[in-house]
Chain A
Amino acid sequence: AQTVTQSQPEMSVQEAETVTLSCTYDTSESNYYLFWYKQPPSRQMILVIRQEAYKQQNATENRFSVNFQKAAKSFSLKISDSQLGDTAMYFCAFSVGSNYKLTFGKGTLLTVNP
């Protein structure tokens, strides 16, 4: 069975600073995807960034980047130049191949302070 662990229930950061959210996962599969989803209060969950396991290069999306360490089964999210709108629950998630079943972690509540 696949598991996803987010060890930081809550984090806070000052506006314009950088913050890193941690995620580890466990799987015996070789072909999988990793995701970070953002769930703002009372808003829809949206995809922040995606990483294919076969790609060694870390994914980046504007201010968001990941540090994917396949051997360590680690997938952290770095948010640069944090903005107030980044305040949300962040979920790390995992799926195997083309199977769209996502396995989520428990989430990290990120608060960006002015």
Chain B
Amino acid sequence: ETGVTQSPTHLIKTRGQQVTLRCSSQSGHNTVSWYQQALGQGPQFIFQYYREEENGRGNFPPRFSGLQFPNYSSELNVNALELDDSALYLCASSLAIQGTGELFFGEGSRLTVL
């Protein structure tokens, strides 16, 4: 177990709707990253938050947004869902000061967009 939990584990939405995915980081970890893993692909970096501020973003449109809270929890919000947003969304936490580069992943939230 990595100490990172995500909810919900599975959900189904329709095109155009909005979704919020939640993550509880490992205690003490001040950095959280979100990844999108399409079927049969490796995870792709969406963005990273450090001390509640966005600290890097991948090639994803602005309708993907996030929040990080002081209690080590975070959210990924996706607006105007598209069919291609169907994927496993992974949250990963880390301790920036540790300097090892290791990420601790949750089990993911599997989103299906119909």
Contacts and interface: CB of A to CB of B under 8 A. Distances in A.
Contacts, number: 59
Interface of B: 1-2, 4, 31, 33, 35, 40-45, 48, 56, 58, 90, 94, 96, 99-103, 105-107
Interface of A: 4, 33, 35, 37, 42-47, 50, 91, 93, 95, 98-107
B43 A95 contact: no
Given A95-B101, A100-B96, A100-B103, A46 B45 contact: no
A32 to B, nearest CB: 9
Contacts of A98: 96, 99, 101
28 contacts: A33-B100, A35-B101, A35-B102, A42-B107, A43-B107, A44-B1, A44-B2, A44-B4, A44-B107, A45-B43, A45-B105, A46-B2, A46-B105, A50-B100, A50-B101, A99-B56, A100-B31, A100-B33, A100-B48, A100-B103, A101-B33, A101-B45, A101-B48, A101-B56, A101-B58, A102-B45, A106-B42, A107-B41
